[in-house]
Structure 1
């Protein structure tokens, strides 16, 4: 009799835990593009009810866009009655983070490391929160794709420019996601004297003389394409400008370090290896 009671108690605990876990997954809000991709890749796309503005992939995900995480209000998030909120520390407003943690809604704010191993670790962390055990195939797919990148002995100098029209031009320094991606793809960041981002100047362009100028697709479009980029003061006089080595990639693929990071490495590798000397 005692064994029967113990068995029934354990069964109730298992069922209760399972129901709570399913409840926590029923209305997910993701506040980072890479996290959104991971949740979808792990098979929980239909549980997402809202995302932030950086969540541009997969394109089949059609849910409410809450805007940028830096400017979000706790009210706009709680209005959607989420049962699970997933985000990263990057760009997270400290005030919003504290309000999310105090909201009573299950919230996880992950620390993201911009590396291949960091991405695989984050996949496991997200999967653990979701209660998903089948995540190793997703991790392995990254390694398989990265192996398709070819070595570039010359390590071409690549300058990433963040553009929002000709009036906003910023250069990516060391320890930025794009800096890490350039290295993984076989190139080297054309600038090394500072971290984070700084305004682009003609003097910096000429001094660093990059082999390639790299943009987000949206950034290059905001300038009017390659011909528009070549009108940036000083750019046409660089190696990149003279050879019209102006390249662009999808922003999330280039800097997100999500499940598609292997694809991003290979795409950038191909873009900077074709004319590398």
Structure 2
């Protein structure tokens, strides 16, 4: 039997705007998107994509071309209207074809539980953003996946049966019916009793790090790979992700203003219109690192807004955003830009509201921080700096 491997993730933070280079900031900017964030999103009613896995309206729009291939705005403020950031839904490129796992492997997961995995022929990889299933595919073990969560939206997984219901609730019966040989998950899905029930049924359950951030994509990738007995493929995938992210970082640095006074004042707004939920995501929410990586000015620091809190008129007035980042389902739930501005009159009286400067992206991608991180950053950057390419 293999010797125990440690999967416990490390937590680190990096001071905002502490490094002058965009590329360096992109690689080191830290954001705590832990289980508490994911559970908060679920609790606020994070909506499901279409039953066929395509994501419904979330995938509407033009797939973003490479940022290097478009003509950016000469003035980043010289644009009126909304844009949707869309990645290629079929953009899955495994680093290996059906690799042979080295099993059994014993790991100590992020909760300190020692788990032995001796069979990865029937894998379930479940989390609130679909990041884990995407990682399994990219490692070359996609054919071993037997089911999916509602956030798994990339094309090759469309036909997999769902094991979540009512959004992100785990369905014990659906999971057991698939007879998984191993389950990878984190603390972002519940009820937690279902996870414990799977362990009681004798299924190896490996709980990986719930934090989703720019600075731990490599660590999370390697956690998944080690647990599945393919550490070499994990190292290869992690290196590829890092290289792709670095490349996009350089491209963003070429078009993003370096002077903070010239950067777009930006907020991340989380909305569930049917439930009357309107949250502003601030520092250490995961959105702050994303905003900074895109070469934007994160207003949250200026208005002393940390974590995730219900938005107030006072906060919007103080922020005076020029750009609002949102999840696509959230924007749709509020009735689009017009509906949102009717619901939040204070937002209508800001530069972002006046110019209808909103950029939305699939709920399952925008804060997922997985193998498609570079594609996510590229699509968002194109929607911000060359919106005519996707409008």
Pairwise same-fold verdict (TM > 0.5): yes
In structure 2, distance between residues paired with 1:259 and 1:175: 22
* 2:340 equivalent to 1:212: no
How far apart are residue 255 of structure 1 and its match? 0.6
Can you list the C-alpha shifts for 1:156-209, whole angstroms capped at 9, x where unaligned? 322112222262222212222323222222224332434432222322211211
Report the equivalent of 2:248: 148
Higher gyration radius (CA): 1
Deviations 1:80-138 (A, max 9, x none): 21111011223454433433333311111101433334111111111112222223342
Gap runs ≥5 in structure 2: 1-100, 106-116
Is residue 2:284 matched to residue 1:175? Answer: yes
The residue correspondences of 1:173-212 to structure 2 (distance < 5 A) are: 173-192=282-301, 193-212=304-323
**Contact (CA 8 Å) 2:183, 2:203: kept in 1 or not?**
yes
Distance 1:117 1:246, change over 3 A: closer
Listed as ranges, the gaps of 5+ residues in structure 1 are: 1-16
Do the aligned residues in 2 keep the contact of 1:159 with 1:212 (CA within 8 Å)?
yes
* 1:162 alignment partner in structure 2: 270
Partner of 2:233: 134
- 2:140 maps to 43
Greater helix fraction, Structure 1 or Structure 2: 1
Aligned counterpart for 2:196 among listed residues 95, 98, 119: 98
Q: 2:208 aligns with which of 87, 110, 121?
A: 110
Cα drift, residue 254 of structure 1: 0.9
Query: What is the CA distance between 1:274 and its match in structure 2?
Result: 5.3
Could you tell me how far apart the structure 2 residues matched to 1:139 and 1:18 are?
Answer: 19
Pair 1:28 & 2:127 matched: no
RCO higher in structure (CA 8 A, sep ≥6): 2
Do the aligned partners of 2:164 and 2:171 also contact (CA within 8 Å) in 1?
Answer: no
Distance 2:319 2:195 in 1: 39
Assess, with a 3 A threshold, how the Cα gap between structure 1 residues 63 and 224 changes in structure 2: closer, same or farther: same
Q: In 2 relative to 1, CA 100–158 (structure 1 residues): closer, same or farther, beyond 3 Å?
A: farther
Q: Could you tell me how far apart the structure 2 residues matched to 1:173 and 1:243 are?
A: 23
The TM-score normalised by the length of structure 2 is 0.59
Q: Work out whether residues 124 and 184 of structure 2, in 8 Å CA contact, stay in contact via their aligned partners in 1.
A: yes
Structure 2 counterpart SS, 1:64: coil
Partners of 1:73 and 1:253 in 2: CA distance: 23
**Residues 24, 106 of structure 1: 8 Å contact kept:** no
**Runs of 4+ off more than 6 Å:** 17-23
CA contact (8 A) 1:158 1:213 kept: yes
Task: After superposing the two structures, state which structure 1 stretch, 107-116 or 208-217, moved more.
Answer: 107-116
Equivalent residue for 1:239?
Answer: 351
Task: Give the count of matched residue pairs.
Answer: 259
